[in-house]
Structure 1
């Protein structure tokens, strides 16, 4: 099953890390243009490595990385370790503080058919290509993907709770989340982490594009290395692992915007009426609450007019995609099949690359985009549950793309993972 090893992380030097909040950045696929422009103003912010600028961004990131190493901006930790990462957060309209507990390490980059690391959604090809180019040039993983393991005994939490009392970094990020990072370098405790994970499957929660890029990079390196053993640096991927059994694991919905409709309101509503029960509403700000907890129900904001729509149960069996029942039962499968394919004619595979579909987490932004005529309809969705994620992963099938938004997002810049062979070899020998 899952093979993990510690890493000798690259981190900002002590002088810079005293202001670590000025150096961290959101993940490449969630950072907004406005955030990018602000972060680019700091010449040492991690955004320059994760979302580089320039005519040849990957090449420029590689050159900058080498400069930072040479100048001591980044330094590699002397001992290998497991990097504990806690995120303290609140959800809207709640005073309860949550703490998502996890740890960062290296894990073997398993092919999907190995059934060790299981995915739950499709990737978008253009994003994968961008990440492959950057990884090839820098041989650096600027942020970990998010994986899930299942341990109802909570074996590792006691070690993480102890280590977090002596943090390396502590800051508040753009989400309003308090991030705390520590490191475990005790060889015996590290072996306990290795032991617990060795009989586990890992579910990929977030970072499908970055993981896919690691797989493609690994295949390229294997093809060019006749001496391939499976232990080379390129076989490993930087990952953040959290326990599925923890109460503080939260998944938020990702809504859908359609930029253009080929129908008038009347014709579109008539098409929807073939499959859905439609209820007009007075206030669009009720859309997310009125569907909460209701199966196959969506809020729809159509050119300024709000509706609750819910699939007629008798038509569900019309879903003809070759999927197991656990996937056919998902709200988003219903939305993508009946609205995107049956009504709008966007076939299942074409939905992954369509420039007419946008994925937005923020509810108010969805309404605003329609009000400002930047989109013609917004579909407001419920979030999936962790049990649904598990069931889909174990089924071997996939959810529609952008089905989950694990909250909070991990942050780039606390620890960097190198898969350069001369830097990687140093990290495995002291402990394994």
Structure 2
């Protein structure tokens, strides 16, 4: 099913902390300026070029300049790249390690059932990434996908000889404190690795916009199996112990219309509302096994639990049980919200503090979405609401680039 290939990556000749960055879509203007100021060769100069409509051409010229200078170099032989990432887990407080493999993935329309999405995408973001890809003919970052481990995959990696390539570490690094890159170049071992995915499906974890951009690019400029039809991806087994999904909480600028008594009256037919102290919301949510959403306003807080999950025609059961779906499709409409102004945060303490200080009027605290739910929803063709998943950490940008066809 999935077609994966080894490739000749383009990499920094000297990988140092000052040239790497988080992925483009989690960088705001302030962070972009900070990263750009660290080093004239920081990857954000390519992934988030400045300027008007000429910024894409400027990124292409800059890329060629870095290649000519030898700042970036292309590896001589096709390889599979192993990436080990060590990081702090904010949910457990411990340290985790995640291991994935950079390969090229043949892009397939979603309806083929080979590559499975779980998020909605937005046209403006895709157009921006498409114009950058057109100008540079280079995938400047990789996407992130998941696959089910198999005996064939375990056999492929069992005795593989991985050559060390680069390593960066430090507490101030983005996306983890330790990053190690290795490669596999032996043709026999590479072929065994590629064949291990012959019956695999890939679930997109991060990079839906870039995947759909790559699919469009390949369909426009390539033929089936041509280089244009491939995209670089980090593949991580679904059972990897380093897979962490953080919850994304909602912080609202307004309270629901009416009084708390009226809010409860609107909810009571379908939900239980259990009063709880602000400082106990997270603890109580954990004790309810992930089946309660925290609702906080300045004068109080509730745990909101659905009394039942009525089936919705055409939607998978895993989706209608998902916190973000229950919140946006059931709880918020029942409370009287229509299009409230809101922001998203992965910090529950940030959400609580915003309400406490009056910077926000209300907040909803969500549980981490189960990885199995993502797999089930995507497999059934469902789409989660916006900002339902946040895989932590992201794939570090600046490790791997791929010049299409080179």
Question: TM-score if structure 2 supplies the norm length?
Answer: 0.89
Whether 1:10 and 2:10 are equivalent positions in the alignment is yes
Structure 1's 355 and 413: CA in aligned 2 closer, same or farther, altered over 3 A?
Answer: farther
Structure 1's 306 and 100: CA in aligned 2 closer, same or farther, altered over 3 A?
Answer: farther
Paired residue secondary structure (2:104): strand
> Alpha-carbon deviation of 1:382?
0.7
> Alpha-carbon deviation of 1:372?
5.3
Q: Paired residue for 1:163?
A: 162
Structure 1's 368 and 175: CA in aligned 2 closer, same or farther, altered over 3 A?
Answer: farther
Q: Paired residue for 1:219?
A: 219
Query: Does the 8 Å CA contact 1:9/1:415 hold for their aligned counterparts?
Result: yes
Alignment partners' CA distance in 2, 1:375 and 1:135 = 39
Q: Aligned to 1:298, which of 293, 296, 320?
A: 293
Q: Which moved more, 1:97-106 or 1:117-126?
A: 117-126
Structure 1's 280 and 355: CA in aligned 2 closer, same or farther, altered over 3 A?
Answer: closer
Alignment partners' CA distance in 2, 1:306 and 1:212 = 43
Paired residue secondary structure (1:29): helix
Q: Paired residue for 1:356?
A: 341
Q: Aligned to 2:35, which of 29, 39, 62?
A: 39
Whether 1:323 and 2:319 are equivalent positions in the alignment is no
Whether 1:112 and 2:110 are equivalent positions in the alignment is yes
Paired residue secondary structure (2:25): coil
Structure 1: runs of 5 or more not aligned: 222-227, 347-353, 424-432
Q: Paired residue for 1:181?
A: 181
Q: Paired residue for 2:327?
A: 335
Alignment partners' CA distance in 1, 2:342 and 2:226 = 40
> Alpha-carbon deviation of 1:73?
1.6
Structure 1's 235 and 176: CA in aligned 2 closer, same or farther, altered over 3 A?
Answer: closer
> Alpha-carbon deviation of 1:240?
0.2
> Alpha-carbon deviation of 1:296?
3.6
Structure 1's 299 and 155: CA in aligned 2 closer, same or farther, altered over 3 A?
Answer: farther
Paired residue secondary structure (2:224): coil
> How do residues 18-417 of structure 1 correspond to structure 2 at under 5 angstroms?
20-41=16-37, 42-56=39-53, 57-92=55-90, 94=92, 96-153=94-151, 154-158=154-158, 162-163=161-162, 166-172=164-170, 173-221=173-221, 229-261=223-255, 263-266=257-260, 267-284=262-279, 286-292=280-286, 294-302=289-297, 304-314=298-308, 316-317=309-310, 320=312, 322-344=314-336, 346=338, 356-371=341-356, 373-417=358-402
> Alpha-carbon deviation of 1:207?
1.2
Query: Does the 8 Å CA contact 2:162/2:182 hold for their aligned counterparts?
Result: yes
Cα distance per residue 1:94-128 (max 9 Å; x no partner): 56432111110111111101110111222233322
> Alpha-carbon deviation of 1:387?
1.6
Q: Paired residue for 1:350?
A: none
Alignment partners' CA distance in 2, 1:30 and 1:116 = 27
Structure 2: runs of 5 or more not aligned: none
